[in-house]
Amino acid sequence: MQSLLSIILLFPALGGLVLLCVPNSQTRLIRILGLTISFITFVLSLLLWVFFDHSTAKFQFVNAVDWLPFLNMHFYIGIDGISLFFILLTTFLVPFCLLVGWDSVQKNVKEYFIAFLFLESFMLAVFCMLDLLLFYVFFESVLLPMFLIIGVWGSRERKIRAAYQFFLYTLIGSLFMLLAILLIYFQTGTTDLQVLFVSEFSLQRQLLLWFAFFASFAVKVPMIPVHIWLPEAHVEAPTSGSVILAGVLLKLGTYGFVRYSIPLFPEASVYFTPLIYTLSIIGVIYASLTTLRQIDLKKIIAYSSVAHMGFVTLGLFSLNIQGIEGALFLMLSHGFVASALFLCIGVLYDRTHTRLVKYYGGLVHVMPLFSVFFLIFTMGNLSLPGTSSFVGEFLILVGVFQTNPFVATFAATGMILGGAYSIWLYNRVVFGNLKPFFIDTFMDVNRREFFIFLPFVFCVLWMGFYPEVFLEPMHTSVANLVQHGQWRG
Amino acid sequence: MAGSDPTSVKPNQFVELHGHAREVVEKTFKFSPRTLGVIGIFGIAVPYLLYQGCVNEFHAADDKYNRERKKFM
């Protein structure tokens, strides 16, 4: 069982290498093989949940392999309650990404499947890496397959611009983190996370290092004002690219905050808390208002993602158990809800080849099943009680209210604005009259799409009605993180 | 792309132009006294006030519980 995590980590990449040997003409074999590999990875990752010990905050399923032993750097992996569900979210989403592209991706099919399988391995590595330098390596390596997915399988001419924007924004931010890692290495002589957890940095050094990490993570979250790449990337990416972007890649930044910035630099985290709060509130309110003005379906969901991630950063820097657990829960919930909404938009785009809201209306008359699915995910997006997002946002508000009621009051307006843009979007697309002069032939969801949506509905409602299943495994690790910090004294 | 199969949208030039203009903001945006004023208010003044409000709230809590005031940026 100890090597289970290594197997999960390597399996998709090895599967990608196997696909390399399959001739390009065998597209059906490539599709079935790719889907099977990703599905087996998901099943294996479920075993992590089954055998995960909830009672300890220690890293589990730990594996270490010498990488650069003369530099005291090791390929060191393990998971705790914080990273467990991000592994599961990643392995859950990838098979659906492959299924979404089943018919719509017709060119470079083999490369598409290989890109996704390597991307999966890289993302999993980020979530379970316990070495700072290797975390950076995999954090950056995610850019390559994603750059190709947007640039090659994107939908329009602006895709190249969007791919470059995505690549450059995140790369420039991350260079500061590399410098910070070098500084940490030269001070402590190691990049082993477990050793770094018990190392102490002076306040001045913490401030410098925290800001360098922040420059990298803030771009990835994305926080305002470095969010511009996200709507562009979403609009130009294929549906599967948007799903993985919203579902997993945005979480890499917030995961970085909770795994590295907060425990390694606790005093600096307190020092910069008002900055994070200010950027988060602006993110929540500004992005929500911007969402109201958008006319492209994907941009609406993209900007609402910026608003939700603003909530997440608020929760993380509340630096208490409720806030951090709420943030982790909302990250997980957003992974399901936003991904499902992008799938809904993908269903419409596959049929009509447009994402402009003005062309749509009255879909409830001709696409009733689609309208039901879209309703459930829209309700999830506006944090309706009974859906997953409500639990996350409620816990975050509880956590933030304990530390700063002024900030919590502003953050709460985000929930109201979320309701406004979500209901208005649903109203414009689904209700009202049909617009036959724009679109006159309609087709409801087919069997493949129906079975893609069903697990997402199940997860959104399960997390909403019985969140304890997800909160309980993360509780010990979050409590340990809060106790570890020095902000409490 | 649009109009290539039976379910595709029939593009309307006004909707398309409106959508295009909204998309290429970097080409349509112009600096003017009005836009500079908006940037000044919402890009500098509002964030500054929010930041000060946030810091004041932390300090008020520290004073209430007789703790030493936390240092912030």
Identify residues of B whose CB sits under 8 angstroms from chain A CBs. 1-4, 6-12, 15-16, 18-19, 22-23, 42, 46-47, 50-51, 53-58, 61, 70-73
User: What is A165-206 written as a DSSP string?
Assistant: HHHHHHHHHHHHHHHHHHHHHHHHS--BHHHHHT----HHHH
In a domain, A353, yes or no: yes
In a domain, A429, yes or no: yes
Instruction: Enumerate the residues of chain A whose CB falls inside 8 A of the CB of residue B4.
Output: 353
Q: What is the nearest CA distance from B38 to chain A, expressed in angstroms? A: 13
Amino acid at B26: E
Q: What is the nearest CA distance from B20 to chain A, expressed in angstroms? A: 10
In a domain, A37, yes or no: no
In a domain, A8, yes or no: no
Instruction: Enumerate the residues of chain B whose CB falls inside 8 A of the CB of residue A156.
Output: 1
Give mean pLDDT, residues B41-49: 94
Q: Is the peptide bond before A222 cis (omega within 30 degrees of 0)?
A: yes
**Contact assessment for residue A63 and residue A2, using Cβ atoms and an 8 Å cutoff:** yes
DSSP for residue A129: B
In a domain, A156, yes or no: no
User: A409 lies in which domain range?
Assistant: 272-489
**Total domains present in chain A:** 1
In a domain, A69, yes or no: no
pTM: 0.94
Q: Positive or negative CA dihedral for A212, A216, A218, A221?
A: negative
What is chain A's percent helix, strand, coil content, to nearest 5?
Answer: 75, 5, 20
Contact A352/B9, CB-based, under 8 Å? yes
In a domain, A485, yes or no: yes
Contact B54/A296, CB-based, under 8 Å? no
Q: What is chain A's pLDDT, residue by residue, as a tens digit (489 residues)? A: 778 999 999 999 999 999 999 998 899 999 999 999 999 999 999 999 999 999 988 999 999 888 888 888 888 999 999 999 999 999 999 999 999 988 888 888 999 999 999 999 999 999 999 999 999 999 999 999 999 999 888 877 778 888 888 889 988 888 999 999 999 999 998 899 999 998 889 999 999 999 999 999 999 999 988 999 999 898 889 999 999 999 999 999 999 999 999 999 999 999 999 999 999 999 999 999 999 989 999 999 999 999 999 999 999 999 999 999 999 999 999 999 999 999 999 999 988 888 899 999 889 999 999 999 999 999 999 999 999 999 999 999 999 999 999 999 999 999 999 999 999 999 999 998 888 888 777 888 999 999 999 999 999 999 999 999 999 999 999 999 998 875 644
Q: What is the nearest CA distance from B49 to chain A, expressed in angstroms? A: 9
In a domain, A252, yes or no: no
Backbone angles phi, psi at A440, to 5 degrees: -120, -10
